Amino acid sequence: MEKKRQVVFIMTDTTRWDMVGCYGYPDMKTPCIDALAREGVRYDKAYTCQPVCGPARSAIFTGLFPHSNGSFTNTVPLLNGVKTAGEYLTPENVHCAYIGKWHLDGGDYFGSGICPPGYDDAYWYDMRRYLDELSPGERLKSRKENSSLEDGGIDAEFTFARRVSNRALDFLENHGGEDFFLCVSYDEPHQPYLCPEPFASMYKDYEMPKTPNYYDTLEGKPLYQKLWAGDSLHEDKSKLSVKPQLFLGCNSFVDSEIGRVIDRVKRSAPDAMIIFTSDHGEALGAHSLTLKGPTVYEEVAHIPLIIKGGAYCRSPEGAVYPSVATHIDMLPTILDYFDIPTPPVLQGTSMRPVIEDPEHNKLHDTVFCEFHRYEIDHDGFGGIQFMRAAVTDTDKLAVHLLDETDELYDTVNDRYEMNNLINDPDKKELRDTLHQRIIDFMNNTRDPYRGYQWEVRPWNSAYRRPSWEVDGFTRQRPAGPGEQIQLDYDTGLEITETVRFKKKADKPAGQV
């Protein structure tokens, strides 16, 4: 009997890569995720596409970077016509269920309660539907940060995580014999960190180690980081402690919920592919910063990623992939598992080679991260902050369009990203190479925020002269199956090469 094609995609919110024990941090109690890593492949250098909730998720589920899919900041929806995983899979007779935090409908933090196209409404359960189950008093309790410690704490059944898991178990029990795509999307361990005992007290006496970047003075760093740090930049760090008791407790709680789901997968869909990741990280005082934002620092942009192959894409047990990986490859990987070719409009590629043989294959030399703004509903968190960044196995370049300083880090010799090498003459060749990769990335992904300002940086003499033609590229949207092919403006013929060089000869470079 032919085995079913089944994928279970599990995601948390704000789990740093170093909050998972199997990444070399035994103080972090995540036995269920650790067990998954022993059964599959752990990706040691995986990065979000934009380190803030909505845009990060938009890249995962559309296969398009936020600058292309429209959800470039929180509370801005996807563009009309942009498809998510369910819209690709449902027409191929794959039963798609999305249970948990969505954050892509452009509404408030909790969502609209309305099931988007491509998913089974019977299992749709966003945070609005969760709140609709609660009384006004319970809603207040669910949003209070210390609810887990006050008035006797909370019961697991009260939490969003438990209710998400329960619905996932129901889906697996009733649909384990079908082709399916099941997404289990937790809000935890995001604030307000709801968790029952023993998790609420599990890290009561635990203090996170103060890494060297906890004492970063931000000398030679961008101005926006100094504004972001605010008064904390001048505090005596030796007298402060990092004790995120409930944050870490909630992280261990959601690990236990993930364990419940994985146990049911093994019983109901033992040949399913399982993917675990998180949308982004959290600064937690590193570089004097809090939360997340326009940076590619490890604490914020580096995320956990673990994949256990299934019947149609086997993976070795306990393997580690040491090179860079990216969320933009999630949707192409899922489609590939269902034997669906990657539509040309998508901007990632299937990870199959580094799932089946992570030891001998390599997918990317460089992955990319971006930022626009934190949220559209207010001007906090720095307002608009354009960033494009290139990340390799050994280095990072971040270009901050509106700031006075860009960033270059040697992540091998400067693990904690303390020394900004952007003006180091010995790094010119590396810096300019990564810069060109960013420009090429913007061209190839039809970045609407592309302009000569990204090229004209004070440290790159090759781009000192701006041009009104920018660099002469034209970028049309590639057509997917059944879509109308665009016609070339100059010829009226169908476009065969969507990204190409078309600089006009009558306007020399540098003319403004």
Decide which of 508 and 313 is more confident: 313
| 211 and 349 part of one domain | yes
Does residue 374 lie within any of the structural domains?
Answer: no
pTM here is 0.95
Same domain assignment for residues 446 and 301? no
C-alpha span between 202 and 245 (Å, rounded): 8
How do 305-308 and 273-278 pair as beta strands?
antiparallel
Q: What mean pLDDT do residues 26-52 have?
A: 99
- pLDDT score recorded for residue 508: 38
pLDDT at 505 over 60: no
- Are 391 and 367 in contact by the 8 Å Cβ rule? The answer is yes
* pLDDT over 80 at 267, yes or no: yes
Residues 360 and 449 in one domain: no
Least Cα distance to 42 among 235, 245, 305, 223 occurs for 305
Identify whether residues 364 and 396 lie together within a single domain.
no
Could you identify the residue written with the tokens 């809090």? 290
Same domain, 447 and 356: no
Cα torsion for 378, 380, 384, 390, to the nearest 10°? -130
Q: Which of 59-73, 184-198, 331-345, 470-484 has the lowest mean pLDDT?
A: 470-484
Together in a domain, 102 and 206: yes
307 backbone dihedrals φ, ψ, rounded to 5°: -130, 125
Total number of residues shown for the chain: 512
Strands, E assignment, 136-282: 180-185, 273-278
Half-sphere exposure of 63 (CA within 13 A, CB side): 25
Query: pLDDT grade, residue 503 (50/70/90)?
Result: low
Contacts of 171 (CB under 8 A, 6+ apart): 97, 99, 123, 180, 182
Lowest mean pLDDT among 31-40, 143-152, 329-338, 390-399: 143-152
pLDDT band of residue 275 (cuts 50, 70, 90) is very high
> Is 372:55 a contact under the CB 8 Å cutoff?
yes
Q: Which residues contact 438 (CB under 8 A, 6 or more apart)?
A: 368, 388, 389, 390, 397, 399, 454
Q: DSSP 3-state assignment of 92?
A: helix
Using CA atoms, how far apart are residues 54 and 342, in angstroms rounded to an integer? 23
Give me the number of domains the chain comprises. 2
Q: Is residue 159 part of a domain?
A: yes
Cα separation of 480 and 475, whole Å?
Answer: 15
- Please check the confidence at residue 339 and state whether its pLDDT lies above 70: yes
Considering only CA atoms, give the Rg of the chain.
Answer: 23
Check whether 199 has a pLDDT greater than 70: yes
Q: Report if residue 386 sits inside a domain.
A: no
Q: State which residues form the domain around 221.
A: 6-368
Asked if the structure places residue 40 within a domain, the reply is: yes
Asked whether residue 406 falls in the same domain as residue 286, the answer is no
Same structural domain, 435 and 289: no
- pLDDT over threshold 80, residue 498: no
pLDDT tens readout for residues 458-487: 999 877 677 787 777 777 777 777 778 888
pLDDT band (50, 70, 90) for residue 510:
very low
pLDDT, tens digit, 9 for 90 and up, residues 410-464: 999 999 999 999 999 999 999 999 999 999 999 999 999 999 999 999 999 877 6
**Residues in CB range of 96: below 8 A, 6 or more apart:** 85, 86, 89, 90, 118, 119, 120, 180, 181, 182
DSSP 150-164: STT---GGGSHHHHH
Quick one: 416 and 349 in the same domain? no
Report the catalytic residues: 53, 103
Q: Which residue among 328, 353, 368 closes a domain?
A: 368
Instruction: State the pLDDT confidence band at 347, using cuts at 50, 70 and 90.
Output: very high
Residues 346, 447: one domain? Answer: no
Distance CA 512, CA 509 (A): 9
**Mean pLDDT of the region 270-296:** 97
Same domain? For 362 and 216 the reply is: yes
Q: How far is CA 283 from CA 95, 120, 287, 345, in A?
A: 37, 36, 8, 33
Tell me the CATH number at 295.
3.40.720.10
Question: What is the token pair recorded at 509?
Answer: 């470079």
Q: What does the pLDDT average to over 91-110?
A: 94
Residue 431, in any domain of the structure: yes
Q: 268 pLDDT band (50/70/90 cuts)?
A: very high
Give SS3 for 273. Answer: strand
**pLDDT over threshold 60, residue 504:** no
In a domain, 164, yes or no: yes
CB atoms within 10 A of CB 181: 28
Tokens of residue 325, six digits = 């990986």
For helices 31-39 and 245-268, the axis angle rounded to 10 degrees is 50
Q: Read off the pLDDT of residues 355-379 as tens digits, 9 standing for 90 and up.
A: 999 999 999 999 999 999 999 887 7
Average the pLDDT over 88-105 and give the result.
97
Q: Terminal CA-to-CA distance of the chain, rounded, Å? A: 67
The reported pLDDT for the residue numbered 80 is: 94
Q: Which residue has the higher pLDDT, 216 or 493?
A: 216
Percent of the residues in the chain that have a pLDDT greater than 90, as a whole number = 84
Percent of the chain with pLDDT over 70: 97
Residue 335 sits in the same domain as residue 409: no
Q: How far is CA 213 from CA 239, 302, 510, in A?
A: 16, 15, 41
pLDDT band for position 239 (50/70/90)?
confident
Amino acid in the structure at residue 88 = Y
pLDDT at position 420 is 99
Tell whether 92 is covered by a domain: yes
Q: Residue 502: its pLDDT value, please?
A: 65
411 lies in some domain: yes
- Whether 509 has a pLDDT exceeding 50, the answer reads no
Q: Which residues pair with 10 in a beta bridge?
A: 184, 276
pLDDT reported for residue 410: 99
